Structure 1
Amino acid sequence: MQYRDCHPASKVNMQVQDLLERYQNGERNFAQIDLSSANLSGVNLRDADLTGANLTGANLSWAFLSRANLTGACLRRADLRSASLNNAVLNQTILSGANLGKADLRMAQLEAADLSWAVLQEADLSGANLQAAKLDQVNLERAKLSNSCLAAAELMEANLRRANLTSATLDRANLREAHLEEANLREASLIGANLIEANLNGVYLRQANLTEADLHRVVLTGADMSEAILTNADLSRSNLAGAYLLKASMSKAQLLRANLQDVYLLRADLNGANLRGADLRRADLSGAYLSDTSLSEADLSDAYLLESHLIRTNLDGAQMTGCCIANWHLENTDCSRINCRYVFTGFDYTTKSPADRYPVGRDLEAGELERHYQQDNAVVEVYLTEPPNWEALAFTLAQLDLEENALGLTIKAYKPSDDNYLIQLKATRPVNAKALTRRIFQVYPKILQQLLTHRTEILSLLAIAPQTKQSDVALEPASQVNRAAPEVPSHDRRIRLYQEVVRQIQHIMMNQAPDQFVQSVQQLLDYLNHQGIATEAIQKKVISQVITQRAKQDKSFCDHIQRWEKTAPDVARSSAVGQAMRFAIAQMWADTKQN
C-alpha cells in the first residue's frame, strides 16, 4: 500500500485556539489542516471534517471525534487513548504507532488503514470495518472486535490475546505468527485465512468456519473447536494436544504428523482427511466418521474408537495397542498391517474406562485382529429378560432389514438361562452392533404389542388356520400352541424385567440426545405397562436422577435439555417421559438458583 507524505507544504498551519473557535462558531470543514504535535486532549470535534489532516504526534486522548471524517489523515504516533471515535471514517488513515488504548471505535470505518505497531489494547472495535487494513504487530489484547470485518487484513505477529472476535469476519486475513491465546472467535469466519505458526492456545473457536484455512504448525493446545468447520484446512504438523473438536467438520483436512494427543474428536467428520503419521495417543474418536481417511503410520495407542465408522480407512502401519474399539463399524478396511499387541472390545460406562481386553493374557498374533473382525463384526448379541416371542422377533428382523438396506439378519444361536436369554444374530455385512441392538429394543416391544393385539387378523392374512382333522404330523399340545397369548410374568421375572428396563433407560438417557431418548424411553415404559408393571417410580425418580447425573458430567447436556424444553413438540412434552423430564429440569434449575 502506498501512502503519501504527511507533511505537504500546502497544509494550513493553525493554532489550536483558532480551530476550537471556528468549531464553536459552527464550522466543520478542517480538511488538510496541520496540527502535528498539538495538544487536543479532551476536545470536542464531533462531525468534523479532518480529511487529509496532519495530526502526527498529536495528543487527542479523551477527545470526542464521533462521526468525524479522518479519511487519509496522518495520525502516526498520535495519542488517542480513551478517545471517542465511534462511527468515525478513518479509511486509508495512517495510525501506525498510535496509542488507541481503550478507544471507542465502534462501527468505525478503517478500510485499508495503516495501524501497524499501534496500541489498541482494550479498545472497542465492535462492528468496525477493517477490511484490508494493515495491522502488523498491532496490540489488540483484550480488544472488542465482535462482528467486525477484518477480511484480507494484515495481522502478522499481531497480539490478539483474549480479544473478543465473536462472529468477526477474517476471511483471507494474514494472521501468520499472530498471538490469539484465549481469544474468543466463536462463529467467526476465517475462510482461507493464513494462520501459519500462529499461537491459538486455549482459543475459543466453537462453530467457527476455517474452510481452506492454512493452520500449518499452528498451536491449538486446549482449544475449543467444537462444531467448527475445517473442510480442506491444512493443519499439518500443528499442535492440537487436548483440544476439543466435538462434531467438528474436518472433511479432507490435512493433519499430516499433527499432534492430537488427548484430543476430543467425538462424532467428528474426518472423511477423506489425511492423518498420516499423526500422534493420536489417548485421543477420543468415539462416533467419528473416518471414511476414506488415511491413518497410515498414525499412533492411536490407548485411543478411543467407540462406535467409530472406519470405511475404506487406511491403517497401514498404524499403532493401535490399547485402543478401545467397542462397537466400531469396520467396512472394507484392511487390519492386517496394523501394529498392535492388544485392544479393548468393551467400555465400562460406570468407570468410564475400557473393558474386555482382547486377547486375554497374551498378545495378538500376526493377522489375528484381521481374522477376528472378518468373522465377528457382523454378529449382534441381544439379551432378553423373558423368553423371546419368535413371531414378534421375526417381524422385528424384517423391519430392520427394510430400514438398513438388506442386512440379511438371521439367528445364529439361542442360549437360554435362568437370568436371561441370549440371541445371536448374524448379518450379511458388518454392522454397528450397539446401534442395532438399541434399535431392536425399540422395535421389538412395539411389534410384540401389535402382534398380540392383531394376531388373529395377521394369521388370517397369511392364510394360516388351525387343523380341523387328524394329520400325519404330530401336533403340539394345546398349551404349547397357545403360548403366543400374553401371560402374566411371575413375581421374580417381573422384578428382573423391571430392573433390566431401568438399566436400558439409564443407558439410553446417558448416551442419546433428549429428542431421541424421549421416544425410546416412552416405548420401554409402554412395554412395562403392557406387562402389568407400574412405571411411576421410573417417571418420578429414575429419569430425574439420570438427568441430574448427566448434567453434572456433561456441561453441554444442560444446553441440550434447555433447547429441548423450548423446541420439543407438544406430543413429546405431554408424554409421560416428557412430563417427567420437564419436572426434573425445573427441579434442577431451582436447585441451581438456591446454590
Structure 2
Amino acid sequence: MEIQEFLTRYKQGERDFAGVDLSRAILTGINLQDINLTGANLTGANLSWSFFNRAQLANACLRQADLRHVTFTSANLSQAILSGVNLTKADLHFANLSNSDLNWAVLEQADLTSANLQGAKLDQSNLEQAKLIQAQLMQAELMEANLRRSQLINANLNGANLREANLELADLRDATLIGSNLTEANLNGVCLRGADLSEADLHRVIMTGADLSDACLSSADLSRANLAGSYLLKTSFRKAYLLRAILENVLMLRADLSEANFRGSNLKRADISGAYLCDTTLSETDLTEALFLESSLIRVKLDRSQMTGCCIYNWQLEDVDLSQIDCDYVYTGFNYATKSPTDRYPSGRNLKPGELAQQYREENSYIKINFKEAPSWEALIFSLAKLEQDFPNLKLTIKSFESVAGGYLLKISCNRPVNSKNLRSRWADTYLNMFQKLQVKRQKILTLLNIIEDKTQHILTPKKSIVTTPPPEPMNEENLNLYREVVQQIEIIIMSQTPEKLVESIQRLLNFINVKGIATEEITNKIIGQAILRRAKQDQPFQKQLIQWEKSAAPAIRLSPIGSAIRSAIAILWQESQ
C-alpha cells in the first residue's frame, strides 16, 4: 500500500490495516494510536518518534525497523518479529511483548515498565539503562544480553535464561529469579536486595561488590562464583551450593547458611558474625581471619579448613569437630570501637595440633554455677529438668557441689559440648522462674509426691541472707525470702553475663519484685555496684566489656538506675587503677 493512501484512510477514521505491507515505509512523527496492524509487514520501516498507543501489532514483522523514541504504551506486540530493531528510548509502558522476537534489538534507555515480555527472545539485545520495573520476563531468553545499569526493580524473571548476560550495576531489588539461569553472567555491583534467587543457576557468576542483603538463594548453585566484597546481610543460602566459590571480604552478618555447601571455597576475612550454620559444610575452606562473632555452628563440617587468625568471640558450637582444622591461633575477643579482634589465643606461641579441639571439649562439657548462699535444691532440680526438656538431646548431671571462698560452686556435666556462657545464662532465668513457681505450687507438689512437709524448717528459706545489709523496710517472711532470692539471682547474673545482657536480665527481676510491692533502692544503690566490682577485679575481660558498654550503651540505659549503678562501679575501678 502506498504511504499516502494509508495515511489518508487513517485520517478518515479507518483503523483496521491488518496484514498491510508497509515495508521500508517512512512514517516518522506520525500519530497512529489505536491502529490495527496485526500481521502487518513493516520490515525496515522508519517509525521513529511516532505514536502507537494501544495499537495492535500482534504477529507483525518489524525486523530491522527504526523505532527510536516510538511510543508503544499499552500496545499489543505479542509474537511480533522485532529482531534487530532500534528501540532506543522507546516508551513501552504496559506493552504486551510476550513471545516476541527481539534478538539483537537495541532497547537502550527504553521504558518497559510493567511490560509483558514473558517468553520473549532477547538474546544479545542491548537493554543498557532500560527501565524494566515490574516487568514480566518469565521464561524470557536473554543470553548475552546487555542489561548494564538497567532497572529491574520487582521484575519477574522466573525461569529466564540470562546466561553470560551483562547485569553490571543493575538494580534488581525485590526481583524474583526463581530457577533462572545466570551461568557466567556479569553481576558486578548489582543490587539484589530482597531478591528471590531460589534454585537459580549462578555457576561461575561474577558478583563482586554486589548487594544481596535479605535476598533468598535457597538451593541456588553458586559453584565457582566470585562474590568477593559482596554484602550478604541476612541473606539466605539454605541448601545452596558454593563449591570453590570466592567469598573474600564478604559481609555475611546474620545470614542463614544452614545445609549450605562451601567445600573448597575462599572465605578469607569474611564476616560471618551472627550467622546461623546448621549442617553446613565448610570442609577445605580458607577461613583465614574470618569473623565468627556470636555465630551459631551446629554440626558444621570443618575438616581440613584453614582457620588461622579467626575471631571466635562468643561463638556457639554444638557437635562441631575442631580436631582436623589447620589453625595456628585464634582471637577470643573483639573491640567494637576499633572493629578489630583482640585477645590472641594462645599468647606468644602457636596452637598444637588438636589443642583447640581439646580445650573446646574440656571447657564446654560442663558448666560452673556460683552461689553466694546454698541454693534451693528443689528449684535447682526442676530447672535442670526444664533445660533438658527445652534441649531434647542434652543430658545434665550434677558433677560436684563444693564450698569455695565467698560461697558455693556447682559443677554440672553435659553429655556433649555446649556454649557454657549461654547455657549458664539460660539456667539463671529458668532457676528463678522455677523458684517463683515453687513458692506458689510447692504444697500441691508435695501432696502429689505424698510428702509431709516439716513446718519447723522451710526448705526453700536460706539459713542466712545473702544480702550484706538489711532490706530497706520491714517485710513479711514471704517477701523477705523472695527479696533474698532475687538478690542471689542478680549476683549470679552479674557473675555470668555481659554488661549488655545483665542490664536486661536484672531489670526483669526488679520489675517482678516491684509488682510484689518490694522496694529495690538498696539493690540499685549498693548491691549491683558491689557485685560488679567483685567480678571486675577477678575477671579482666569483663573489665574491658564494661569500658565498651560505657562507650556504646544507649543514653536511656546508661541513665537508668541499673546503668547508673554500673557506671558508678566503673568510676571506682578507674579511680583504683590510677
Into which bin does the TM-score normalised by the smaller protein fall? 0.7 to 0.9
8 A contact 2:63–2:85 mirrored in 1: yes
Which digits, 9 at most, give the CA deviation of each residue in 1:171-210, with x for residues without a partner? 2322122121222223322222221221112222233222
Which digits, 9 at most, give the CA deviation of each residue in 1:58-95, with x for residues without a partner? 33333221211112223233333332212211122222
CA distance in 2, matches of 1:68, 1:391: 82
> How much does 1:120 deviate?
1.9
* 2:233 equivalent among 230, 246, 269: 246
Letter in 2 for 1:58: A
Other-structure match for 1:155? 142
> How much does 1:260 deviate?
0.7
| 3-state SS of paired residue (1:480) | coil
Indicate yes or no: 2:28 matched with 1:34: no
Distance 1:383 1:320, change over 3 A: farther
* 2:223 equivalent among 228, 236, 239: 236
Other-structure match for 1:313? 300
Indicate yes or no: 2:177 matched with 1:190: yes
Indicate yes or no: 2:491 matched with 1:506: no
Alignment of 1:357-372 (within 5 A): 357-372=344-359
Alignment of 1:128-527 (within 5 A): 128-348=115-335, 352-381=339-368, 391-405=378-392, 407-411=394-398, 425-452=412-439, 463=451, 465-466=453-454, 480=463, 486=480, 500=494, 506-507=500-501, 523-527=508-512
Structure 2 gap segments, 5+ residues each: 467-476, 526-548, 561-578
> How much does 1:310 deviate?
3.7
Indicate yes or no: 2:6 matched with 1:19: yes
8 A contact 1:159–1:180 mirrored in 2: yes
CA distance in 1, matches of 2:371, 2:464: 22
Q: Which 10-residue stretch deviates more, 361-370 or 181-190?
A: 181-190
Distance 1:401 1:113, change over 3 A: same
Distance 1:100 1:382, change over 3 A: farther
8 A contact 2:286–2:306 mirrored in 1: yes
| 3-state SS of paired residue (1:33) | coil
Letter in 2 for 1:27: E
Distance 1:401 1:479, change over 3 A: closer
8 A contact 1:108–1:129 mirrored in 2: yes
CA distance in 2, matches of 1:118, 1:287: 46
Distance 1:467 1:392, change over 3 A: closer
Q: Which 10-residue stretch deviates more, 452-461 or 332-341?
A: 452-461
Distance 1:163 1:108, change over 3 A: same
| 3-state SS of paired residue (1:354) | strand
TM-score of the pair, normalised by structure 2:
0.77
Letter in 2 for 1:159: N
Distance 1:424 1:48, change over 3 A: farther
Indicate yes or no: 2:63 matched with 1:80: no
Letter in 2 for 1:506: E
Structure 1 gap segments, 5+ residues each: 1-12, 470-474, 510-516, 551-575, 577-595
Indicate yes or no: 2:51 matched with 1:68: no
> How much does 1:365 deviate?
0.9
Letter in 2 for 1:166: I
Distance 1:468 1:117, change over 3 A: closer
CA distance in 2, matches of 1:382, 1:182: 54
Q: Which 10-residue stretch deviates more, 307-316 or 194-203?
A: 307-316
Letter in 1 for 2:14: E
Which digits, 9 at most, give the CA deviation of each residue in 1:280-312, with x for residues without a partner? 111122343444433222101111234444444
Distance 1:346 1:98, change over 3 A: same
8 A contact 1:505–1:521 mirrored in 2: no
Alignment of 1:49-64 (within 5 A): 49-64=36-51
Other-structure match for 1:110? 97
Distance 1:346 1:384, change over 3 A: farther
How big is the alpha-carbon RMSD for the aligned residues of Structure 1 and Structure 2? 4.0
Indicate yes or no: 2:88 matched with 1:101: yes
Letter in 2 for 1:276: R
Distance 1:439 1:71, change over 3 A: same
CA distance in 2, matches of 1:304, 1:528: 40
CA distance in 2, matches of 1:178, 1:438: 52
Which digits, 9 at most, give the CA deviation of each residue in 1:10-34, with x for residues without a partner? xxx321x332321222211112323
CA distance in 1, matches of 2:53, 2:89: 15
Letter in 1 for 2:236: S
| 3-state SS of paired residue (2:8) | helix
Letter in 2 for 1:526: N
8 A contact 1:385–1:421 mirrored in 2: yes
Other-structure match for 1:119? 106
CA distance in 2, matches of 1:457, 1:350: 53
Distance 1:422 1:536, change over 3 A: closer
8 A contact 2:278–2:299 mirrored in 1: yes
CA distance in 2, matches of 1:398, 1:506: 28
8 A contact 1:312–1:332 mirrored in 2: yes
Distance 1:536 1:433, change over 3 A: closer
Other-structure match for 1:5? none
> How much does 1:152 deviate?
2.2
Distance 1:390 1:93, change over 3 A: same
> How much does 1:524 deviate?
4.2
Which digits, 9 at most, give the CA deviation of each residue in 1:19-52, with x for residues without a partner? 2321222211112323334332332211211122
Distance 1:217 1:68, change over 3 A: same
Distance 1:468 1:441, change over 3 A: closer
CA distance in 1, matches of 2:404, 2:41: 92
Which digits, 9 at most, give the CA deviation of each residue in 1:265-294, with x for residues without a partner? 334333333212111111122343444433
CA distance in 1, matches of 2:238, 2:442: 49
Which digits, 9 at most, give the CA deviation of each residue in 1:327-360, with x for residues without a partner? 4444444322211111233445565443443323
TM-score of the pair, normalised by structure 1:
0.75
| 3-state SS of paired residue (1:373) | helix
Other-structure match for 1:573? none
- Matched residues, number: 513
> How much does 1:411 deviate?
4.9
| 3-state SS of paired residue (2:344) | strand
CA distance in 1, matches of 2:426, 2:51: 66
Q: Which 10-residue stretch deviates more, 455-464 or 53-62?
A: 455-464
